[in-house]
Structure 1
Amino acid sequence: MDIRRSLRDNRGFILFLLSFALFRTAVADWNPIPSGSMRPTLLEGDVVLVNRLAYDLKLPLTDVVLLPLGEPQRGDVVTLSSPAGGTRLIKRIVGLPGDRVAMRDDVLILNGQPLAYTERQTRGESVAPGWVVDAVRATENLGGREHTVQLLPALRARRDFAEITVPAGQYFLLGDNRDNSEDSRFIGTVPRGKLIGRAHHVLVSADWLGEDGWRMAPRLERWVSAIR
């Protein structure tokens, strides 16, 4: 009896929670960035806004597509459920269905054409507490869309793979931190149904990593900034 009364007295709040949950699972979401696989585009401690209706309307809490709404494009930064285990990841689409994709010495080759890399700079990058290595950052031109990628020559990484053709209905994804990312080089191409949505803005950001342990320093310059 008490449970029924409690439900009745709080039905407005309960409906709000259900509507909020439905909104996050079907329309829009926000995701914290826990790793450096998308550096320098996204940093640990960023919270990104994700448009879940960018590509498909899905049955909430499932990968079942009810209605296609748009086509993923090269250069889109997307969240996805990894086909290798279901872990939520965030990566960049570099290969569309039918594209031929290869990599040689960290140079991405798309449909037989090596991509252009300009504005190369070298800087120090911390990859673990007390371990700083040289990082090469360059602007990659992906079909007319430019963004920055990072290479870590000192790390062991998969910098080469033979050409593959992306199957119909699937996509080839890479992290912008090319030598430190679990992406399609390891998990394979990603079916469209595994794409959750397109990440389009950093909502808020805070530097929460430090050699002295936990810290929280807001990065105000990144708040409400568009993702390139």
Structure 2
Amino acid sequence: MLLKWVKSNRGFIVLLLCFGVFRTAVADWNPIPSGSMRPTLLEGDVVFVNRLAYDLKLPLTDVVLAHLGEPRRGDIVTFSSPRDGTRLIKRIVALPGDTLEMRDEVLYLNGEAARYDAPEAVTETLAEIGAQVPATRWTEHLQGDERRVQWLQGVTAHRSFGPVTVPEGEYLVLGDNRDNSADSRYIGLVPRHLLIGQARRVLVSVDILENWAPRLGRIGQAL
């Protein structure tokens, strides 16, 4: 009976296998479940991930078959947590050989302090505790890269660390929502073989915290 079913549905089975290989080796999509990358990524975004941005891997494994590209500072990456294997999405802030330090939220890369401008005061909802807190968003300029980051008031977070010199084959990642992100300050540096791919753009977005309305303006937004 089973053999007959397989024979009669072999085209569908091959299609599913090809789709699975495509998702695990070539391209993927990643839902954003938390606010750790706010304001760049929002809860309810689904991002396109290029799995061939850095390495070609054996499907369903972390075994690297070939290096295809080099991670860069500022890249938003998905990876398996070195602590427990959970899939996470953060931004690469320091590369192998870099020395990074944070002093009262300010980053220092290889001895040079980041510059912060364009402040914006907002109120953020922390779903974990069901409370709203004041926050400030800044544009962070760091050795040619820039991004919007967010600092929260009245929460406990690692606002200072390091200096840390990143060893060969590892990367230091941070969330853009600096005071609400389980990143390298908590889980450690990320080895290259645990990088899954580079997030390139928002595919679709729905406001999962409010009324599940689609955010049409975010569809197709480049990262």
Same fold (TM over 0.5): yes
Aligned counterparts of 1:173 and 1:130: Cα–Cα separation in 2: 27
Contact 1:74 1:142 in 2 (8 A): no
Once the 2 structures are TM-superposed, how far is the Cα of residue 153 of structure 1 from its aligned partner? 2.1
Q: How does 1:5-24 map to 2 (within 5 A)?
A: 5-24=4-23
Contact 2:100 2:165 in 1 (8 A): yes
Aligned counterparts of 1:200 and 1:146: Cα–Cα separation in 2: 16
**For structure 1, which segment, 145-154 or 91-100, has the greater mean C-alpha deviation from structure 2 after superposition?**
145-154
Unmatched 5+ residue regions in structure 1?
A: none
Letter in 1 for 2:24: T
Give yes or no for the alignment of 1:220 onto 2:219.
Answer: no
Give yes or no for the alignment of 1:26 onto 2:40.
Answer: no
SS in 2 for 1:30: strand
Give yes or no for the alignment of 1:200 onto 2:200.
Answer: yes
Contact 2:62 2:194 in 1 (8 A): yes
Letter in 2 for 1:125: E
SS in 2 for 1:186: helix
Give the number of equivalent residue pairs: 222
Letter in 2 for 1:139: T
Q: How does 1:67-146 map to 2 (within 5 A)?
A: 67-128=66-127, 131-146=131-146
Query: Residues 78-110 of structure 1, C-alpha deviation per residue, up to 9 Å, x if partnerless?
Result: 000000010000000000000001000100110
In the alignment, what sits opposite 2:56? 57
Aligned counterparts of 1:114 and 1:48: Cα–Cα separation in 2: 31
Once the 2 structures are TM-superposed, how far is the Cα of residue 30 of structure 1 from its aligned partner? 0.2
Aligned counterparts of 1:121 and 1:218: Cα–Cα separation in 2: 25
Contact 1:123 1:134 in 2 (8 A): yes
In the alignment, what sits opposite 1:188? 188
Contact 2:80 2:195 in 1 (8 A): yes
Aligned counterparts of 1:73 and 1:184: Cα–Cα separation in 2: 16
SS in 2 for 1:118: strand
| Cα RMSD for the two superposed structures | 1.0
SS in 2 for 1:60: coil
Letter in 2 for 1:7: V
Contact 2:113 2:142 in 1 (8 A): no
Once the 2 structures are TM-superposed, how far is the Cα of residue 216 of structure 1 from its aligned partner? 1.6
SS in 1 for 2:206: strand
Superposition TM-score, scaled by structure 2 size: 0.97
Percent sequence identity over aligned pairs? 63
SS in 1 for 2:4: helix
Contact 2:56 2:67 in 1 (8 A): yes
Structure 1 segments of 4+ aligned residues over 4 angstroms from their partners: none
SS in 2 for 1:217: coil
Contact 2:170 2:191 in 1 (8 A): yes
Letter in 2 for 1:38: M
